[in-house]
Amino acid sequence: WILMVTTRAPTNIAVIKYWGKRDEKLILPINDSISVTLDLNHLSATTTVAVSPSFEEDRMWLNGKEIPLSGGRYQNCLREIRSRAGDFKDEKRGIHIKKEDWCKLHFHIASYNNFPTAAGLASSAAGFACLVFSLAKLMNVNDDLSQLSAIARQGSGSACRSLYGGFVKWAMGNDLNGSDSVAIQLARETHWSDLVIIIAVVSSRQKETSSTTGMRESVETSTLLQHRAQVLVPGRILQMEDAIRNRDFSSFARLTCVDSNQFHAICLDTNPPIFYMNDTSHKLINLVERWNRHEGTPQVAYTFDAGPNAVMIAKDQKAATHLLQRLLFYFPPPPENEMSSYVLGDKTI
Ligand code: DP6
């Protein structure tokens, strides 16, 4: 026999960034972070997990290519889920797995991303959230989403926020074992449905410094990072929670842009410095800043993760339409390309 579960998880975009760990193994952060989860139809991961007595080892395929499961992160997630497994019974097929027997079985895992892997679009967030959720369904795990988020966190920090839709906070927690370093939903996906997210893919090339390496180097060498994590972010988190609660776009946009720019300033303050944004990213920032200033009140927020691609959050559909017109004006696409897959490249504004 074979049992299979398939689930889909969206990616999330941090508006107050996670950057720096206090525990590398358990993936415990040095500050709280807040994100917005994209809707499921766009940037998401789809993961099928299968279990059968005929499988001799755990194996995984990512976008059709087998990848080693030896990495500690996958093993940590598998171990945690196995330890919480429940009994499984399918009378019709005569399958009965006792909870203690799951550790004798092996899994085959196939995961697909529908967006450029490792181009700074947090594909690992969707990937690990989806993996953990699929495994939990397969093994009848009874934990709630916040407990599952603590497992996804051990795959990739930002993954814990993808278990929920809407606006999500990852509370850094205090416990040494990480039990309170979990994601909680701040607002449902319907709370602020005017917002429109536009992602400008500046480059689909793999980033040079992974988030994991980059934040380790920042923790070791940036003198600004502790000040950011301990003094600046805690206040900003409270303000961002208020802005989201009140659907206050001006504050939301200001905090989002300031936090993104500060995260990249930390990257510059790292030794050797890390450059995630490129000239096109800087031009996009200028475009939005100038437009917001011209309007007198923010129409669009921008934020950049560990890569040059811009995530722009427009106030409403009207602002999104204007933004797209501006982008198309400054970065005219070749006619044969579709906008959805159009890479901006290094053009000048
Ligand atoms: C800039 O979650 O990818 O996107 O925990 O080492 O897997 P690991 O790092 P990861 O880092 C994400 C960093 C970020 C900011 C954020 O998503 O909060």
For residue 32 and ligand 1, the question of a CB distance below 6 A is answered with no
Among protein residues, the one whose CA lies closest to atom 1 of ligand 1: 305
Q: Give residue 43's pLDDT.
A: 86
- Neighbouring residues of 97: CB distance < 8 A, sequence distance ≥ 6: 87, 88, 89, 105
For residue 107, with 0-12 CB atoms within 10 Å meaning exposed, 13-18 middle and 19 or more buried, which class applies? buried
ipTM exceeding the 0.90 mark:
yes
At residue 344, does pLDDT exceed 90?
A: no
Percentage of the chain with pLDDT > 70?
A: 92
Does the CB atom of residue 122 touch ligand 1 within 6 A? yes
Nearest atom (ligand 1) to Cα of 27: 5
Question: Do 134 and 49 meet the contact criterion of CB atoms below 8 Å apart?
Answer: yes
Q: How far is the CA of 96 from the centre of ligand 1 (A)?
A: 39
* Terminal alpha carbon distance of the chain: 59
The span from the CA of 67 to the CA of 54, in Å, is: 20
More confident residue, 335 or 218: 218
Highest mean pLDDT (candidates 39-48, 198-207, 271-280): 271-280
**pLDDT, tens digit, 9 for 90 and up, residues 118-150:** 445 657 899 999 999 999 999 999 999 999 999
Estimate the crossing angle of helix 211-221 against helix 249-268, to 10 degrees: 70
pLDDT of residue 253: 98
- Say yes or no: CB of residue 170 within 6 Å of ligand 1: no
Q: How far is the CA of 210 from the centre of ligand 1 (A)?
A: 9
Per the document, the length of the chain is 349
Are 251 and 243 contacting, i.e. CB atoms less than 8 angstroms apart?
yes
Categorize the per-residue pLDDT at 208 as very low, low, confident or very high, splitting at 50, 70 and 90.
Answer: confident
Q: Is the CB of 211 under 6 A from ligand 1?
A: yes
In DSSP notation, 76-145 reads HHHHHHHHT---EEETTTTEEE-GGGGGG-EEEEEEEESS-TTSSS-HHHHHHHHHHHHHHHHTT----H
pLDDT one-digit tens code per residue, 150-181: 999 999 999 999 999 999 999 999 999 999 99
**How many angstroms does the Cα of residue 215 sit away from the middle of ligand 1?**
8
Paired with 16 in beta bridges are 34
The pLDDT, as a whole number, for residue 258 is 98
List Cβ neighbours of 116 (8 Å cut-off, separation of 6 or more): 123, 201, 204
Task: Kindly state if the Cβ of 306 falls inside 6 Å of ligand 1.
Answer: yes
pLDDT band at residue 337 using 50, 70 and 90 as cut-offs: low
Instruction: Examine the pLDDT at 213 and tell me if it is beyond 60.
Output: yes
pLDDT above 50: residue 348: no
User: pLDDT of 27-76, one tens digit each?
Assistant: 999 999 999 999 888 789 999 999 999 999 999 999 899 999 877 899 99
- The pLDDT value recorded for residue 332 is 79
Q: Give yes or no for residue 240 CB within 6 A of ligand 1.
A: no
**Which of 16, 18, 33, 275 has the most ligand 1 atoms within 8 A of CB, as the residue to mutate?**
18
Q: What pLDDT, on a 0 to 100 scale, did the predictor assign at position 349?
A: 35
